Each structure stands twice: as C-alpha cells, then as structure tokens.
Amino acid sequence: MEVLYINKNQRKRRRFKKSVLVVAAGFLLLMLLLLLVLMHFGGSEGTARIGSIETSQTVTAVVVRRESVVTGGEFDLADRYMQEGQRVAAGDRVMDVYKLGYSREITMSLWRTRQEIYEAQLGVLGEARDVELRNYDNEIEKLKKELSDSVLSGDTSGVLELKDRLTMFLTDRSEYLRSTIQETETLRSLYRLADERETAVSDSRIALIADRGGRVSYYFDDYSAALNADKLSIVTSELIDSIIKKNEKSPKWTAAGGGAYRIVDGSEWYLVFNTPLSQGMRVSSGEKHSVDIRGYGKFEGIGETSFVSGQKVVNIIKISADIGTLIDVRTVRAEIGFAAEGIRVEKRAVQFEDGKPFVELMIDGKRTGVYVNVFAEDGGHAIIGANNTSSAPLNEGVRYWIPKKKLFK
C-alpha cells in the first residue's frame, strides 16, 4: 500500500493566502460603499433662479373674531330686541335680562292692574272725553293692532319695541287721567298696587345697551370670552388642537350660560391653523391667500406672522369680509391657496433650526446660514425670501448649498 504524506506547513500557507484575499476584498467593498455614501449624503450646490409656484393646502382651522362678550349677571329670563346677526349701533337697546327668581307673572299682574285703573278712571270720568284723551286712546288702539299683526304674521323682530311703546302710552294715559280726575279709595288702592308692581319689575330688569357697533349674537361656546382677535399673539398650538378636537365631537353653540350676547365686528375675522415644524411653507406677514371655506364660500385673506409653538407652527390669516353665518362657528375645513413669485430654490435646500427655516448661501466659498420665509412649495422646489432680520444677498444667481439625506437623524 502506498502512503501519501502532506506537508503541514504548506497547508497553513494556503489558508493564510485565502484569508488575505478575503480581507482585501472586504476592504475594497467597504471603501466602495463609503464612497457611495459620501456621494449620496455629501450634498451639492445650486443656483437661485426667479420662478413661481401655485399650490394649496386643506386644513382644519379655528375661526377667531374681534368681539366682546356682554354679561348681565345671573339671569334666567330675557327679552331680546335684536335678531341673531343683526347690525347694531352704539346706544341701541339689545336686551333686557331679569334677575334670578323673577317671574313673568309679575309683568302680567302689572298689566292687569293698569287695565283695572283705566276702567276705574273711566267710571269716575263718565262720558266726557277731551282731545288729549282721545289721542291717547287712538294711539293705544293703533299699537295694539300693530302688535297683534306682528304676532300673527310671525314677524317678531319689532314686538318688544311695540310692547314698550304700548306700555309707555298706557302709563302716560293713566298718569294724565290721574292728574285730571278726583281720586277715589279704589283708585288710590290700585295706584299703590301698580307702583309696587312697577318697582318690582324695574328692580329685577336690567337693560343692556350696546357700547359699540357690530353684529349681535346670542350664542356662545367655551372659548367666546377667552379667544379673541386681541389675544392672537398668545394663542398656542395646543389650544388650537384642543379646540378642533372638541368641536369634532360637539360643534353646536348654546344660548346664554356664559353671557347675555356678543357684539362681533362683522368685517374683521381670522382663521388660525397649525402646520408641522418640518413644513417650510407657512403663512407670512402681508402675503395674500385665497381661502375656500367648505360650506361658507370663498374669501381673500392677508397673512399675519406665523410662529413656532410647541411642536407645531401657528398660522394666522386675516379676512376683511362680511362674516355672515360664520358669526357662531368655531372650526371649519378650508383650502388655503399659496401662490408666490420670487427666488426659487430646491426644496431640499430649506433646513430647520428650532423650527425656523433657513438656507445656506455660498458666500466667499463658505456656507452662510440665512433665515427665510417659505412662501410656497411643491414637490421639488420652494419660493423663498430672506427673513426681514437678514441682510444676506438672497438674489437670483446666488449659489446655495443643497444637503443630501442624512445618514442618521
């Protein structure tokens, strides 16, 4: 039998050569991957051009009005002299409220007492009627007919005013007769009773007079007193989100509860909505926007300065138009148009620091960060302008840095 002997040293040398080749191949592969990563994530330069972008964004927005809430203390009965949404002027009587515990029966008793006084006065007067008394009688009958016609036709807008005028003439007629005829014990007793009931009504009734012009509304939500146009600077993204979330469940407002009525500036109101920190396109001060509010119509708005709040950006658009039926609406779905012409850069060039967008300009061979406003953006480009605190030359032809994707976020 032939025996084969293998040299152990030769076998070790072969294994060593294979290991070296594997390591070398792995190193070359690693270098190739690193080169690809550097090419992909390293970034590049671009040149700013003049361009334009038109786009839109659908948002859920909160309606904020310039308004004031008028309270009348605690009450459970009220007389409204104005219709919902009606224009009022300073000095107009908007509403009478009656203190807790007041009963309509007191008013009805006063009316019955006045009628009893008139009948008793006529009993003393007899058939005599002078010109002034006949004038009172004619005016009272006329007002009664107008009041009856208004109620029957369903037009209640002027009922309270008619009632007030009728009450005034009835009182004046009673006082005229009181001054011209001799009192009897019956009349004296009725006069005293009428005075007591008139005092009870007057002490319980509070007349609310408009202190400025606007539109009146008797409906309130939980934010009517706190959320106003003069408080927009302290609105937070958390508040906007909470209002939207609550209104998705129970959007209907209620009468009274938090006040008597609101006086609303019918031609100045605002839409407030949140956008993500990572979205460069935001509302900028002075920029015009088209606003299409679902179910309410189309409007033109002017942007207010947006600001970072928490993990979002608060955007505000001012609308100067008739508020219409939005007088008692808190949240809406709206399509906001963003259209701008100006410096056009690649969207990837817009970076963020603490939620504020900026781009890096190539100045003297170095990258210089400049805060910007992003007026509009589409899938690949953005129209930008230097923030008003910047003096960097953000013009057509300027070179800017385009960062690539980050390897680690």
pLDDT of residue 74: 80
pLDDT above 90 coverage of the chain, percent: 50
**pTM of the predicted protein model:** 0.76
For the stretch 177-183, contacts whose Cβ atoms lie closer than 8 Å and that sit 24 or more positions apart, written own/partner, are 177/118, 177/121, 177/125, 177/133, 178/121, 181/121, 181/124, 181/125, 182/124
pLDDT of residue 162: 83
Residue 362 pLDDT > 80: yes
> What sign for the dihedral angle of Cα 247, 252, 256, 262?
positive
Burial of 224 (0-12, 13-18, 19+ CB in 10 A): buried
Beta bridge partners of 339: 54
Q: pLDDT digit string (tens) for 22-80?
A: 555 555 666 655 444 444 446 799 999 999 999 999 999 999 999 999 987 788 788 88
Residue type, 86: Q
Three-class SS state of 88: strand
Residue type, 102: Y
> Can you tell me the distance from the alpha carbon of 61 to that of 57, in angstroms, rounded to the nearest whole number?
12
Percent helix, strand, coil in the chain (nearest 5)? 35, 35, 30
Q: pLDDT digit string (tens) for 187-229?
A: 999 999 999 998 998 899 899 999 999 999 999 888 887 899 9
pLDDT of residue 14: 52
User: Which has the higher per-residue pLDDT, 134 or 284?
Assistant: 284
- CB under 8 Å to 224, separation ≥6 — which residues? 67, 69, 258, 259, 262
- For 260-281, what is the mean pLDDT? 95
